[in-house]
Structure 1
Amino acid sequence: MAKKRKYPKMPKQSAPLSTWKRYEDRVKEVDRYNSSIEKEKNEKKKIIERAKRLRK
């Protein structure tokens, strides 16, 4: 199973605006990736539960 990605280090307060924009984009990308992993994990769990109910 895929591992969740870690968030990048936060830039210093004195960093330029462009750095903060890149940081924001990276954080959004990590959020998107991690939520897709969670979504797949929950979907798999639902399918397994349905399969168990059919077997009884």
Structure 2
Amino acid sequence: MDVESKCSKKAIIKYTGAFIAWVIGSGFATGQEALQFFSSYGYLSYGVLLINFNYVQHSR
């Protein structure tokens, strides 16, 4: 069997999307990624971070 018969473009896109979703989801689940992004802008960003977390929590 050659490689092309095992790997279709649809399968590659599906597994790539699942991996990206896993990486993004684990980053936001811990909050570490969001904290590093917002804290790089100084003390004012902590207020924006709290507003963002409240929005996400109440939008569910």
TM-score bracket for this pair, using the shorter chain length: 0.3 to 0.5
Q: Which has the higher contact order (CA 8 A, sep 6+)?
A: 1
Q: What TM-score does the superposition give when structure 2 sets the normalisation length?
A: 0.40
More helix by share: 2
Q: What TM-score does the superposition give when structure 1 sets the normalisation length?
A: 0.43
